[in-house]
Structure 1
């Protein structure tokens, strides 16, 4: 398995698959359009965030989107993992862990002393993040009301 930055064709493929990745990551709570994904991802790429991809024999298996973010309370610039996704056919093979380790190494080498990410509480990836040393920092709660 190779982990590296994508070429232009691979990046276009990721952007086509990103709506499904967000749909699954939000446990079906969000079904974004291609246009909405562009609105979410393009500003991140524009500010220096980048993808790392896992491939084998040039076949895309998964990706991770990393970069920086600003803490809303302290204005500290931190490393941030925006997205992690492994294609269905490649799940259960440790690819997420390889992508995470590589992303952490990249962010550490860029000088970030802290790395954060956001995840839906019921997402099975929570267990992976805990195994990798992440801990809960803040909790967002929701109340659905009848309208």
Structure 2
């Protein structure tokens, strides 16, 4: 398996699959259009975010979207994982962990003291994040009206 920044062709594939990634990550609450995805992703890329893609023999397995966050109270910068996605047919093979390890390693090499991410509480990936040492810092709550 290879982990690297995607070429133009892989980037198009990632963008085309991103609506499904958002749908899965929000447990079916959001299904953005490809136009909305491109707008959101372009904004992140313009701010220095980038993808790491997992491939095997030119087959896309999954990706992680990395960037920089800033603590809202201290303004301290931290690594931020915006998205983690493994294609359905490749889930259960440890690729998500490999992608997360690559992301964490990147942030360590860049000298960040902390990595953050957000996830739906019921998302199955939360168990992976906890196994990697992530801890709950905040809880976001909502009330449907």
TM-score by length of 1: 0.96
Residue matched to 1:137: 137
Residue matched to 2:4: 4
Residue matched to 1:62: 62
Note the C-alpha offset of 1:60: 0.2
Note the C-alpha offset of 1:17: 0.5
Mind listing any 5+ residue stretches in structure 1 that lack a counterpart?
none
Note the C-alpha offset of 1:139: 0.4
Residue matched to 1:84: 84
Note the C-alpha offset of 1:24: 0.6
Residue matched to 1:123: 123
Cα offsets for 1:14-52 (capped at 9, x unmatched) = 011101100010000001011111121111111111100
Say whether the 8 Å CA contact 1:64–1:82 is kept in structure 2: yes
Q: Secondary structure at the match of 2:11?
A: helix
Note the C-alpha offset of 1:89: 0.7
Say whether the 8 Å CA contact 1:22–1:32 is kept in structure 2: yes
- CA–CA separation in structure 1 for the residues paired with 2:109 and 2:43: 23
Say whether the 8 Å CA contact 1:67–1:107 is kept in structure 2: no
Q: Secondary structure at the match of 2:112?
A: coil
User: After TM superposition, where is structure 1 displaced by more than 6 Å over at least 4 residues in a row?
Assistant: none
Residue matched to 1:14: 14
Q: Across the two proteins, how many residue pairs are aligned to each other?
A: 145
